[in-house]
Amino acid sequence: MESMVSFITGPTLASSSSSFLEARTLRTLFSGGRGTSIVQKNIVIVSRKLSGLEEAMRIRRSRELQSSGKATKRPPLRRGKVSGPLPVPEHILRPPYVGTKLLPEISSEHQIHDEEGIDRMKAAGELAARVLDFAGTLVRPSVTTDEIDKAVHKMIVDAGAYPSPLGYGGFPKSVCTSVNECMCHGIPDSRQLQDGDIINIDVTVYLNGYHGDTSKTFLCGNVDEPTKRLVKVTEECLHRAISICKDGVSFKKIGKKISELAERHGFSVVERFVGHGVGKVFHSEPIILHHRNDNPGYMVEGETFTIEPILTMGSIECITWGDNWTTVTADGSLAAQFEHTILITQKGAEILTKY
């Protein structure tokens, strides 16, 4: 999840126009947890003023997207019936937050692992990736997100792991399923997937005391070309960001890399939800901002964290439903997200959740 935080990803941050330079104090919430109730800290983010050429290129690309076809108009997402949480065998190790509806504090410690810890992180990441790959095979018209949740839950517990979202701050299900305009933290329910939908499935497993966290946006049936482009570019943004990660690199380069590619294609980068450290603790420092920022901090060999950008076709403003989790774009525009857990090395970054 986002800093759920990934798994789950926080309160709405005001967005700024790409053509203006401004600084403002933002409250960073993790995509991962219950609306505005997870506040990491106050930070000042200065958005970079685009040059005249860059602004002209952005406008031209936006017009090209409009002329190449419009995304199919869909009815607004509506919540279906949510079934109760599924049972987990007693012998399976549970994260410390299970049994309380309080959102855990975001740990201020970076999670840097020894050899044994790295091995356990790899095992958790590999399982999360396999579960996500399996979940993707279930995506087709008429399938409900509740059915996906049940199948994912069974695969995780059959592997001797715990589905990390279940019980995190009161989250009622074992996976997040975010359809169409839902940015993140969608709760599985009775709604059937429709031909042309897109759905992000966010899987986190807790195996032998370590969390592995990953997500992917899948196409359901016949998806129009503009929507396919959104999904493709979002995944490219994730991999471009991972490509620059290694020991000693500044965290702020992640947001710069993602923003450059997204803007080139006329898409917007959501600021409200962030990546996060992950390991023994579900959500910790470092906080990974996916938009341009000037936050301090450098990557360290042996640490693990998630990168999980969300791109939209329109506004980055969002609305959180009354369930305190489901967060949708304010203008109803489509959103896509991809996520990996990575391990920092001297020479680069190893993807622990490669699917």
Look-up: residue for tokens 């095992």?
Answer: 123
331 CB neighbour count, 10 Å cutoff: 14
CA geometry: angle 253, 270, 191, nearest 5 deg: 135
Angle between helices 252-264 and 225-243 (to 10 degrees): 150
- Residue whose C-alpha is closest to residue 271's, from 233, 206, 202, 317: 317
Cβ–Cβ under 8 Å, residues 185 and 165: no
Annotated binding residue 202: yes
Query: What size, in residues, is the chain?
Result: 355
Annotated binding residue 283: yes
Annotated binding residue 339: yes
CA geometry: angle 296, 212, 261, nearest 5 deg: 50
Give the separation between CA 308 and CA 235, rounded to whole angstroms.
9
Annotated binding residue 185: yes
SS3 state of residue 42 = strand
Q: How far is CA 335 from CA 38, 135, 223, 318, in A?
A: 22, 19, 14, 11
Angle between helices 115-137 and 145-158 (to 10 degrees): 140
User: Binding site: what residues are annotated?
Assistant: 185, 202, 213, 276, 283, 308, 339
User: Binding site for a divalent metal cation: what residues are annotated?
Assistant: 202, 213, 276, 308, 339
User: Binding site for substrate: what residues are annotated?
Assistant: 185, 283
